A and B are shown apart, each in its own frame.
Chain A
Amino acid sequence: MAVIDAAASDTVMRAADGTPLKKKLRQAERREQLRALMLIAPLFLFIVVTFLFPIGSMLERAFYDSDVADNLPRTKALLANWDGKEVPGEDVFAAFAADMKAASKVKTVALIGKRLNYEIPAFKSKVVATGRKIDKVEQGPWKEAIIGIDPIWGEVGTWAVVKRSARSFTPFYLLGVLDLRQAADGSIERMPADRAIYVQILGRTFGISFLVTLCTLILGYPVAYLLATIPQRHASILMIFVLLPFWTSLLVRTTAWTILLQDGGVFSQVIHLTGITWLLNVLGLVDGEPQLFKTRFATVLAMTHIQLPFTLLPIYSVMKTISPTYMRAAKSLGGKPFYSFLRVYMPQTMSGVAAGCLLTFILSLGYYITPALVGGGTDSMIAGFIDTAMNSEANWGKASALGFMLLASTLVLYYVYNRLIGIDRMKLG
């Protein structure tokens, strides 16, 4: 054995400094990889720190809310041992009074009230009033004093909510955007019908996105087909009609639709002149001038216009690779034109259809500007409600939970997209 080893080592190729060439190559490759990582590092760190970290901590707010825990620490500690069967004893009320006095000093009573208000309607003003009045009470017994301020503190349900919301990690917001909530005993139940709106909003967002995707496919597929089969010099000219809107900013196109769709605006003029208004009246679909601005129709119309190039271009680029000889072969074998198209041409375009439709569907889910401006506030999609939760209600937990739902749907669909097409092969015009 030793003889063979010695013989083998003699045949190893060596560099000038005596190290084996194999080792040299490995070293060179490792240096190369290190250099590549050094080139990527600045952008990688930049994205992680200024983009992924902020989004991660935003999503944390969908699960984590310490407003009550931070401001009612003593109450929280005592309530941990409370069995929830009857109204807590004097010790809990004394701790609550002490916490509320402390919270009054640092002016955080409103924060406690805001969080509890999500679960007990119109509770915020009661909490604030209690905080104000308890500050003036010098001495116990606290239980009587507090129930005397507001009888709501004498209910078991109130304390169940306080105990639950004092837990910093809470499923409350995520359950809320699924129209669910925790009952007093901790079991999960449906939200009452008058407050259950979010499942419907999710459904509407998916519905509008699906409709827009379908419209772009129906309009885009024939255009892609024609552009891919006519001579290149004609196709290049017609392509301008697709690429110019594609390059025009989303806001500009939304602006255009907002102005054109105004009541009595250019769009009404056009459908009036072309007789479509008359036709709709004859069919009994509308009475007089159709209302367009701030309707679902307007949202879908404008979104279809904006998304059409996104669906069309991937289909076009796949169609460009299909040789016309296949269709000729199908016809020469006796296939009728429509049948050959259906059985020979269309199956080959499916990867493009999948790419274009998925992209449009994913992008449509996150639409905010267009539904807000063209569709009117009442018909918002999920992104519009995230904005409302942030800016009008200042309910950050809810905004984050809605964001979580939107992001989760988007990521699942992108995963499918990546599996089917490969994300770095995405075409940009």
Chain B
Amino acid sequence: MALPAYATPGERIAYYALRLFVGLVLLFLISPILAIMPLSFNSESFFTYPMPGFSLKWYIGDEGFFTNGRWTGALYLSVIVAVSTTALASVLGTLAALGLARANLPGRAAIMAVLISPMIVPVIISAIGLFFFYASPWVGLNGTIPGIILAHTALATPFVVITVTATLMSFDRTLMRAGASCGAPPHTVFFKVVMPLILPGVISGGLFAFVTSFDEVIVILFIGGPEQRTLPRQMFAGIREQISPTITAAATVLILFSTALLITVELLRRRAERLRGIRN
């Protein structure tokens, strides 16, 4: 939408005003994230510019993100929980999405509503519900790692279901019949034909599941014991009690991590489009 040569002065003003406004909004979106990163290299423990000096001590010093026991422990726990959640959620979610993709399933809308309910219910309500459930004597999962993994899996599966369902919508089912008519048994068709085509969707869903677990802070505040300090919980406690620059280092690492994920998902999306021969 370039400005045509015959544009009126009014149109010219609108054209540049719109660009200026959009520029400011985009600046507003990105600047908090960019502003926080340099502060993690501050040699002093305060949060203003200009910084007096450069230092890596919030990464590798006594209080550093990669060296302090509390932070490395939190990172370790978060990774364990997120990887387990991703594995469970991807398997359960993909199976369910494959089932949902079959034609004329009775009560499909109701089933879908149940499956994506964890995404709809406000997290604070899920947290309290799970707390009471885990506290009952015959469950007893409060303050345990399996409890956290199960809770995160419930919260993460809707993202897998939605992503994989979306991928399956554009999946050409005649390919399965083609495979079968060439003599392949159902499991061969699944692993050799279906899986490679829906894999980008499954991986995207898995990444969503990973992020859901890795970022989750409210549920862990309720069901986690004192020893279960995941990374978000450690950060939350840090902000509540006393803000140390290590938090900015943690934030920086997480921002870089989400940038990497963003790029991965985008590449997967392009690959999926290429595989299916869709072009813009």
Binary flags per residue of B123-165, CB closer than 8 Å to A gives 1, else 0: 1111011111100000000000000001101100101011101
A424 to B208, CA, bound (A): 16
Which one of B39, B116, B133 has the greatest number of beta carbons of chain A within 10 Å? Answer: B133
| B137 shortest CB reach to chain A, Å | 14
Q: Closest residue to B91 on the A side, CB-wise?
A: A42
A387 interface residue (CB < 8 Å to B): yes
Bound Cα distance A265, B102 (Å): 56
CB < 8 Å: which of B11, B100, B254 contacts A40? Answer: B100
Residues of chain A lying within 8 A (CB to CB) of residue B151:
50
**B233 (CB) vs chain A CBs: closest residue:** A251
B178 to chain A: which residues have CB within 8 Å?
none
Query: How many residues of A sit at the interface, in one of the four size bands?
Result: 35 or more
Within 8 A of A (CB), among B199-240: 208, 211, 214-215, 217-218, 222, 232, 235-236, 239-240
State the majority secondary structure of interface residues on B: helix
B96 contact from A39, A57, A240, Cβ within 8 A: A39
CB proximity of B37 to chain A, nearest CB, Å = 9
In the bound complex, residues from chain A placing their C-beta under 8 Å from that of B32 are: 245, 253, 256-257, 260, 305
**A12-40 near B? 1/0 per residue, CB < 8 Å:** 00000000000000000100110111111
Verify B154–A50 contact, CB threshold 8 A: yes
Give Cα A324 to B1, complex, Å: 9
Query: Binary interface profile of B, 105-124, with partner A (CB < 8 Å = 1, else 0)?
Result: 11000011111111011111
Q: Considering only CB atoms, which chain B residue lies closest to A411 in the complex?
A: B120
The residue in A61, A266, A324 that gathers the most chain B C-beta atoms within 10 A of its C-beta is: A266
- Decide yes or no whether A347 CB sits under 8 A from chain B: no
Known: A40-B99, A43-B161, A251-B235. A223 touches B26 (CB 8 A): yes
Binary contact track A214-231/B, C-beta < 8 Å → 1, others 0:
000001101101100110
Q: Identify the closest chain B residue to A238 (Cβ).
A: B26
- Contact status B115-A47, CB under 8 Å: yes
- Which residues of chain B come closer than 8 Å to A95, judged between CB atoms? none
Q: Tell me the nearest residue of chain A to B255, going by C-beta.
A: A248
Given that A249-B211, A251-B235, A368-B123 are contacting pairs, would A266 and B35 also be in contact in the complex, using a CB cutoff of 8 Å? yes
Given the complex, which residues of A lie within 8 Å of B232, measured CB to CB? 249, 251
B117 touches A52 (CB 8 A): yes
Partner of B121, one of A55, A229, A252, A256: A55
Contact code string B82-113 (vs A, CB < 8 Å = 1, else 0): 00000000001101101110111110000111
How far, in angstroms, from A250 to B35 measured CA to CA in the complex?
Answer: 16
A59 to B262, CA, bound (A): 38
The answer to whether residues A366 and B124 also contact, given A244-B33, A256-B32 and a CB cut-off of 8 A, is yes
Residue B79 at the A interface, CB < 8 A? Answer: no
Q: Are A258 and B117 in contact (CB under 8 A)?
A: no
Stretch in A101-109, A113-121, A348-356, A400-408 touching the partner: A400-408
How far, in Å, is B148 (CB) from chain A's closest CB? 12
Q: Is B276 an interface residue (CB 8 A)?
A: no
Contact B95 A42 (CB under 8 A): yes
Chain B: minimal CB distance from A263 (Å): 11
Is A386 an interface position by the 8 A CB rule? yes
Segment at the A interface, from B13-21, B55-63, B67-75: B13-21
Cβ contact within 8 Å between A226 and B262: no
Q: Which residues does chain A contribute within 8 Å of B243, judged by CB atoms?
A: 258-259, 262
Q: When each residue 7-34 of chain B gets 1 if its CB lies under 8 Å from chain A and 0 otherwise, what string results?
A: 0101100100011011001101110110
* Residues 278-305 of A contacting B (Cβ, < 8 Å): 305
Query: A244 is contacted by which of B98, B236, B262 (Cβ under 8 Å)?
Result: B262
Which of chain A's residues have a CB closer than 8 A to the CB of B153? Answer: 46
Chain B nearest CB, measured from A209 CB (Å): 12
Give chain B interface residues in 155-181, CB to chain A under 8 Å: 157, 159, 161-163, 165
B35 in contact with A260 (CB, 8 Å): yes
Q: Taking the complex as formed, is A414 at the interface, i.e. its CB lies under 8 A from any CB of chain B?
A: yes
- Whole-angstrom CA separation of A238 from B48 in the bound complex: 28
How close is B210's CB to chain A, nearest CB, in angstroms?
12
- Offer 20 A-B interface pairs, CB within 8 angstroms, sorted by A: A32-B103, A40-B100, A44-B115, A47-B115, A51-B126, A55-B129, A238-B26, A245-B32, A247-B211, A251-B236, A255-B235, A256-B32, A258-B239, A258-B243, A259-B248, A269-B49, A308-B29, A337-B11, A366-B125, A411-B120
Given A250-B215, A266-B47, A428-B163, output 17 extra A-B contacts at Cβ < 8 Å: A32-B103, A42-B92, A46-B92, A47-B154, A61-B132, A241-B29, A244-B258, A244-B262, A247-B261, A265-B48, A266-B48, A305-B28, A337-B11, A368-B123, A368-B218, A423-B112, A429-B265
| Chain A residues near B (Cβ < 8 Å) | 29, 32-33, 35-40, 42-44, 46-48, 50-59, 61, 219-220, 222-223, 225-226, 229-230, 232, 238, 240-245, 247-260, 262, 264-266, 269, 305, 308-309, 324, 337-338, 365-366, 368-369, 373, 383, 386-387, 390, 396, 399-400, 403, 406-407, 410-411, 414, 423-424, 426, 428-429
